[in-house]
Structure 1
Amino acid sequence: MARDLEIRFSAFQVGEHCAAMSSGNPCFVNSGAIEMPQGKEEWMSTISKMKREPALVVFDCAPVMMDVSPIMPAHENVTLRAFPQLSKVLVSSVPLLVIAGLVYAGLFIKPKPVGAPIPPATFERGDAFYGLAALSASTIWAGGTDGKVVRTDDGGNTWTRQTTPTHHTIQDIAAWDEMRAVAVGNRGVAIFTLDGGTTWKEGKAPVSQVANKLMGVRVLPGGGAWAVGEYGALLKSEDYGASWVRAAPQEDAAWNDIDFLGDTGWIVGEFGRLKRTTDGGRTWTSVNTGVQTSLMGVRFKDAMHGVAVGVAGTVLVSGDGGLSWKPAPSPVREHLFDVEWHDGRWTAVGAKGVVLSASDPMQGWSVAPVSHIDQAWHTQVDAVDGGVVYLTGGTMVALENGKARPLVR
């Protein structure tokens, strides 16, 4: 007796020999995908193979009646069930599965970097270097924006960017030797190195609740250092910049620069203020300068003779160790930010590329820009034996034999 088995194929007309069998559409047997058998004989063979393992065979198609008695005895049963909506459910589930996969990837799969990291550029657009320390014609340190410190050991032909623990702007940098240096800047940052800049560490410095920018730093033999800044900051270190203490009470005025020769020191700041010490900084005495304009830089060539410069072209001269000061004739009105004594001459730098030079400030200064194309401001000047003068600020430049050589190319 023939037994009919209802099987669902593709949703199109099925002929006597079951043309749908050759459609090649996939079906699912025991959760495994197989290809649709080609023709009636192969289909019968497939059903025969399933007789020992009753299976759930799924088709989303129209029914067709087939005689399976030749291959299945009456006492054996194979159940074939049709689920017309299954494929629709599966298709509609795809977007949800995709979204679930993306959520899983976002939460639990962490990307891993491939290859070596790209080192940051030594010099970048917008860089400004406010502080510079020239140890020789070859070795120079500079510090500036974003906590960046760079060093050259070949006179500026090539530079190396050194990693620092801060992104606050460096305002000044000074060095004891080729291995040990200190830098200070915004937010009270004070960093130091003992290994030539291979590693920079943050020093422990007192913090004000009002203002903390440190403007200048000066180093002394034996690991001593002084730093000055906003809100009357006057800090002292005796361990190469690793720790700092306040040497004077806070006050509502900023100090901009400091200089020391032995136990005698001078600090200058806002409103023409100047203080002097003769006992290594234990006590400080205010000195009347006779001006109200802010003083930005001070330097002494010996224990008696010094020059201070400031905004609006201010130049002051002392011949008695800083006890009294006289205004010197100034040929410019541009702000002057720093002054240095070297090779028998004074050099002052400031805004608009101005460079002043004089052997005797009271007898007048010669004026020359860095170059006819360099109108940048310069915040610091340093010099080394041999007549090379280094300027830094909007540009970094070496002046030698009256010619300017850019240090950053």
Structure 2
Amino acid sequence: MSEPVMRRTLSGGLARSSRIPVSRIYSPLGKALSLCSVLSILAFTVAPLTVQAAEPASLYSIMSERAQSSLLLDITAAGKRLVAVGDRGHILYSDDNGSTWTQGKVPTRQLLTAVYFVDDKHGWAVGHDAQILATTDGGQTWVKQFEDLSREAPLLDIWFKDDAKTGFAVGAYGALLETTDGGANWEDVSDRMNNEDGYHLNSIIAVKDSGLFVVGELGVMFRSADWGQTWETVESPYDGSLFGAVATKEPATLLVYGLRGHLFRSSDFGDTWQQIEINTPNNGPLEFGLADGELLADGSIVVVGHGGTVLKSTDDGRNFSLVNRADRVSLSSAATTDNGKLILVGQGGVHVASPTGADLGQQ
């Protein structure tokens, strides 16, 4: 195994990087949506596995009228604004509950996999080439804080403390990066986890009154009670890949989800797990992959996935209602609007839905 080497971030700071096992192939759609085989053909059309050369500083995402209907992988709220990220470096924002969308000025054309805001101005996005982008104006303009072409793999999720200083990014081959200065410098701290096989880390979340939780490939789980300084391996209830996790409004309580509709709930920060059974209208078990979840402002939880799957819980994840959208598009993330509608993103871009997730014409 090679010795770690130091790599310089775009802001001049140094970050450690280790050799990546190139024999493993990572599906390029990133995050939960990308890891499910249903969209494997789409993955090769929108994001080739070929490693691209470093981009010139002037190469920005192309403004396109079709960006709103292109592949989008994540959406979040920045105050009252909604911000979505996805294919070809597209970052879109809406100030009217998803009715209209404007493209931000983004210094990349790589696939972006996740976005996170701490307030209405300060946010970060991650994606292929291990890129980390940042904004201080609510998503209108972005700067590139970090990239590492040698990784040949994407970052898949990002989380920041409310102080906008301390943050972590996770990704393929066990990547764990940390910043303590708002992203001016990023350090590879992957060795804090016992992940010698380099399993992909798909999601990082904060669990109320408990700490940070990470899930990934082949059911791996890690938790940190000191908010990222030390990490403990958690025994997983499932040996298939987990694509995401979402905290509830209750202390120490979270849900994790992944392949073939597998969904688990813990109320003790991962010590024990209960499987949540989801049955379809024909009484068969849900077998679509679940990609992402969101705790909404009213305390309800939405989980979305393949086949137009939208799950919603109003009791902190103990029970879920199920809607299979008529369009059957694969969904990768969800957010809510002031008027109670859901904004779903994924295959086909932005989809405005009813509070249950159904198409507005499906009700």
Q: Tell me the TM-score normalized by structure 2.
A: 0.71
Residue in 1 aligned with 2:346?
Answer: 393
Contact 1:298-1:339 at 8 Å conserved across structures? yes
Question: How far apart in 2 are the matches of 1:157 and 1:239?
Answer: 36
| Partner secondary structure for residue 352 of structure 1 | helix
Instruction: Provide the rounded CA distance (Å) in 2 between the counterparts of 1:334 and 1:402.
Output: 18
Residues 217-254 of structure 1 deviation map (CA, whole Å, 9 limit, x = unaligned):
12320113221110101112233333322232274210
Q: What corresponds to 2:257 in structure 1?
A: 309
Equivalent residue number for residue 228 of structure 2? 281
Return the letter of the residue paired with 1:375.
R
- What displacement does 1:364 show? 4.1
CA contact (8 A) 1:182 1:193 kept: yes
Counterpart pick for 1:239 among 181, 196, 204:
181
Q: Does 1:365 align with 2:320?
A: yes
User: Is 2:353 aligned against 1:375?
Assistant: no
Amino acid at match of 1:283: T
TM-score by length of 1: 0.64
SS at match of 1:396: strand
Q: For structure 1, which segment, 228-237 or 127-136, has the greater mean C-alpha deviation from structure 2 after superposition?
A: 127-136
Percent identity between matched residues is 26
Equivalence for 2:273:
325
Query: Match of 1:335?
Result: 289
Cα separation, partners in 2 of 1:242 and 1:142, compared to 1, 3 Å = farther
Give the match for residue 130 of structure 1. Answer: 73
**Higher RCO (CA-CA < 8 Å; seq separation 6+):** 2
**Given the alignment of the two structures, is residue 218 of structure 1 paired with residue 159 of structure 2, yes or no?**
yes
Gap runs ≥5 in structure 2: 1-61, 280-285
Q: Which residue of 1 aligns with 2:136?
A: 194
Rounded Cα–Cα distance in structure 2 between residues aligned with 1:257 and 1:125: 24
Kindly state the Cα deviation for residue 384 of structure 1 after the two structures are TM-superposed: 5.8
Greater than 6 Å deviation, 4+ residue runs: none
Structure 2 residue corresponding to 1:173, chosen from 111, 115, 123 = 115
Q: Which amino acid aligns with 1:120?
A: M
SS in 1 for 2:84: strand
**Which SS does the other structure have where 2:257 is aligned?**
strand
Paired with 2:223 and 2:113, the residues of 1 have a C-alpha distance of: 23
Instruction: Provide closer, same or farther for how the CA distance between residues 403 and 232 of structure 1 changes in structure 2, counting only shifts above 3 A.
Output: closer
Size of the alignment, in residue pairs?
284
Task: Determine the structure 2 residue equivalent to 1:356.
Answer: 311
Counterpart CA distance in 2 for 1:321 and 1:368 is 28
Write the letter of the residue equivalent to 1:382: A
Task: Indicate conservation of the 8 Å contact 2:69/2:350, yes or no.
Answer: no
CA drift of 1:154 comes to 1.6
Equivalent position to 2:63, from 115, 120, 123: 120
What do residues 92-127 of structure 1 show as CA deviations (whole Å, max 9, x unaligned)? Answer: xxxxxxxxxxxxxxxxxxxxxxxxxxx832424972
